[in-house]
Chains A and B, each alone.
Chain A
């Protein structure tokens, strides 16, 4: 029950666009293993929904093929595909009771009413929906509607489960609960799933692997750790979380590490993307929480020194912006447990350093 997308492209006609067309997805390749949950993550309009609709069959790709469980289903209409979708708007049938909504797929398969009822009640139990069989959909809360939509999709035991921003209509707290819930159910049933979101934390929570998209193209595919710590390019590094890019020059290249000269100091960095050779200008990707701040007095092994220009105290963390001479953007740093580490005042001068293990190199694009 794996899913394979081969060279998928989708071009829409669009009269409002100057060129008359929109490339929603371009040259998209992805293989999803059985039972795996993959998230499509990217800015608005990057083609996530379109990709999902191509898998479910609601859109036919302009070029390319869709394979599900080793079968080419590119030309198979959506009602004949073994996929189930959880819609952003839930798409609960307003004229049917909760029970009938959930049992709709089984009814279509021609199951007997008693068996459908039994099965529906079983799944309602798992989804914390007991006692709601006869309710009308408009008598449910947002979270309950969401669970009904999920139950309706899961009851058919589809080979592939598709989610299009299923939590975006919920409030923040419920969203956090539900994403854990979704992950729990997906793992319990071991259903191959594709999940669309533009919420990075959601993507991190629910997925085995994340596909970062931009402008219809795949930017990177990887585990949440890889996406965050080893971004393949500038876009991914910048899109996921907050980041500092620190310029430097590769002065020594070996199989294991690249030595980067930062002016005041050199470091051996063991993680990088693409081809980097000696003499290349490189960017070092460092997350704000990987930076170490300390007072300048009596130290000389720092990356650079600067002046604190902004401080934000959040309780568990303190966030700083540090202006460094010669750098365009101020450095962002996050300090955990600030009570232990100590506070810095605005205007104070600090030295900034990092552990090479927490950094990642990209070749600087000119």
Chain B
């Protein structure tokens, strides 16, 4: 014990020799505590201490409500099923693309990426437009009335379409890192294609699949947009119920209690994923992915896989074409002739939301990106007391559903000394601290690959920690920085679950605006807002990549190959 203490003291002594480093660490710690932990603590406090006294009555009341209990079960069920089917579809895509020589690979890859760079509720919106009361398929084509698309089936479909790309990206990485030479070796030993798949490829991919499923579970549990549009009152979902308690019934404690209940499985599964499953992953190659020469799939299986992928790809395409058409259709469902009226509306009355969104995303993204790199650097390269705390709390916002954070922010920052409700600042802070983990993850990943002696060499030649970071570390982190930047820009543009609590008349967001258009039945306006939103994101991505390849040549060009 005494030994450990003196080590801490030595670490502290070491940092105080570098005042800049000390200040940076202290400021980041304080910020993490105030803007990530404090709101969560408020959520917990409000649900167990509603009148300043400890009581479980609110929680009890919440749990005893049949309806809310059902919401919890529905959420967990939806999360599990999405995890399963999402990972299945993602695996089929990843496997087909990495292990067969089918045509249209590029196309499939692109299709699987689109949902990642678009607002998460596009699926739901499109399903309503296709299968809803005025749905193109149900009403215009088939003439059906009162189709039950709201609820379980519709939502599951939307969630799988929305989240399978996440599984696809992860599993593609996993499959690429399984050296084809292992499969060759197994084939060489006389295994059939199926044997090799079930005895070699699949077992090696299992940890990756488990990890992808857990991530999908957390994301679905936290998702807000799709259920808000599609769940309906017959099929309550926890995140939506928490929102409705607060904005519909003005019952803060109950909303907080629901948020608390939502927090528990999310956090548990997140840490399960991060500290247990992800540790079990095999690394069978280091360095460049070997060019695989796919041999384990027979032609019949190959074409079956191709058809499955094609079917899913066409479904996704259908979703986006529907949105695009809806944006130009006069009155969706009854008069599908083309018009620019919705766009006129977006660029007229609705333009404030577009402008606000751009300002908020444009300001928060670079700050989140740089902060993420600094934290990644501190975590990987520096020794200081509280490092573990910094790592965990900064990654926490990955695990915490946006709804919970949103409720936390209104609880935490509606009174002095942090009176921020209704301001631009609260949205900025929320976005920054929600999206730093993206940068931290790509930053730590790249730093772990950079030999620490490269930085030591700079220090050895006389650079202090500031110069080393700026001249050596940061340039080496450029690819990670920009892929983090693109990703957090996308997230900021498409965010809704936390932001919906924080918008005000003076600062609005496109996503929130789209929701309210859907709610008031103006599907055309919602669709054209969505089209503009996706366009902005695509332009931004292309712009960043262009700039990068101009500035950094080959190095920059490899950033985020999506």
Contact = CB atoms under 8 A, between A and B. Distances in A.
A78 B555 contact: no
Contacts of B463: 79, 108
A108 B461 contact: yes
A87 B453 contact: yes
A13 B458 CA distance: 26
B51 interface: no
B546 interface: no
A279 interface: no
Contacts of B29: none
Nearest to B472: A93
Interface in A97-123: 104-105, 108-109
B17 interface: yes
A89 interface: yes
A91 B462 contact: no
Contact of A94 (B7, B10, B458, B476): B476
Given A21-B3, A91-B454, A56 B460 contact: yes
Contacts of B458: 93, 104
A20 interface: yes
Contacts of A88: 453
B526 to A, nearest CB: 46
Contacts of A83: 460
Nearest to B454: A91
Given A91-B453, A93-B454, A93-B472, A13 B459 contact: no
B61 interface: no
Contact of B456 (A20, A87, A105, A153): A87
A77 interface: yes
Interface in B1-45: 3-4, 7, 10, 14, 17-18
Interface centre among A87, A91, A93, A156, by most chain B C-beta atoms within 10 angstroms, is A91
Interface string B461-503: 1111001000010011000000000000000000000000000
A156 B451 contact: no
A56 B281 CA distance: 37
Given A13-B3, A87-B456, A93-B472, A105 B462 contact: yes
Contact of B467 (A85, A108, A153): A108
B457 interface: yes
A284 interface: no
Interface string A20-39: 11000000000000000000
A156 B317 CA distance: 61
A244 interface: no
A101 to B, nearest CB: 9
Q: How large is the interface on B (under 10, 10 to 19, 20 to 34, 35 or more residues)?
A: 20 to 34
A73 B61 CA distance: 66
Q: How large is the interface on A (under 10, 10 to 19, 20 to 34, 35 or more residues)?
A: 20 to 34
Contacts of A21: 3
A58 interface: yes
Contacts of A20: 3
Contacts of B454: 91-94
A77 B456 CA distance: 12
A85 B454 CA distance: 11
Given A20-B3, A108-B467, A79 B459 contact: yes
A93 B460 CA distance: 13
B453 to A, nearest CB: 4
Given A13-B7, A21-B3, A105 B453 contact: no
Contacts, number: 70
A109 B17 CA distance: 21
A85 B476 contact: no
Given A87-B457, A89-B451, A79 B464 contact: yes
Contacts of B475: 95
A75 B555 CA distance: 39
Contact of A84 (B4, B17, B453, B460): B460
Nearest to A81: B460
Contact of B461 (A58, A94, A95, A156): A156
B14 A60 contact: yes
B74 to A, nearest CB: 43
A89 B453 contact: yes
Contacts of B17: 75, 77
Interface string B441-460: 00000000001011011111
A60 B16 CA distance: 14
Contacts of B459: 58, 77-79
A183 B97 CA distance: 55
A13 B4 CA distance: 8
Nearest to A108: B462
Given A94-B476, A95-B475, A95-B555, A58 B456 contact: yes
Contacts of A287: none
A363 interface: no
B532 to A, nearest CB: 38
B523 to A, nearest CB: 50
A341 B50 CA distance: 100
Nearest to A62: B10
A258 to B, nearest CB: 47
B461 A105 contact: yes
B457 A109 contact: no
A47 to B, nearest CB: 18
B15 to A, nearest CB: 11
Nearest to A105: B461
Contact of B460 (A60, A79, A92, A95): A79
Given A21-B3, A156-B462, A78 B453 contact: no
A352 B13 CA distance: 63
A4 interface: no
A91 B555 contact: no
Contacts of B14: 60
Contacts of A108: 461-463, 467
Contact of B18 (A13, A77, A156): A77
A92 to B, nearest CB: 8
Contacts of B3: 13, 20-21
A78 B457 CA distance: 10
A84 B476 CA distance: 22
A93 B457 contact: yes
Contact of A60 (B10, B461, B462): B10
Contacts of B451: 89, 91
Interface centre among A77, A79, A109, A149, by most chain B C-beta atoms within 10 angstroms, is A79
A152 interface: yes
Contacts of B7: 13
Interface centre among B4, B460, B462, B463, by most chain A C-beta atoms within 10 angstroms, is B460
A85 B18 contact: no
A84 B457 CA distance: 8
Contacts of A152: 457, 461
A300 B299 CA distance: 85
Contacts of B453: 87-89, 91
A105 B464 CA distance: 12
Contacts of A95: 475-476, 555
A153 B475 CA distance: 22
Interface string B525-552: 0000000000000000000000000000
A20 to B, nearest CB: 7
A153 B453 CA distance: 13
A94 B457 CA distance: 12
Contacts of B457: 85, 87, 91-93, 149, 152
Nearest to A58: B456
Given A87-B453, A93-B472, 8 more contacts: A21-B3, A58-B460, A60-B14, A78-B459, A79-B462, A87-B456, A153-B461, A156-B462
Interface of B: 3-4, 7, 10, 14, 17-18, 451, 453-454, 456-464, 467, 472, 475-476, 555
27 contacts: A13-B3, A13-B4, A13-B7, A20-B3, A60-B10, A75-B17, A77-B459, A78-B456, A78-B459, A78-B460, A79-B459, A79-B461, A84-B460, A84-B461, A87-B453, A87-B456, A89-B453, A91-B456, A93-B472, A94-B454, A108-B462, A108-B463, A108-B467, A149-B457, A152-B457, A152-B461, A156-B462
The 3 closest A-B pairs by CB, nearest first: A105-B461, A91-B453, A91-B457
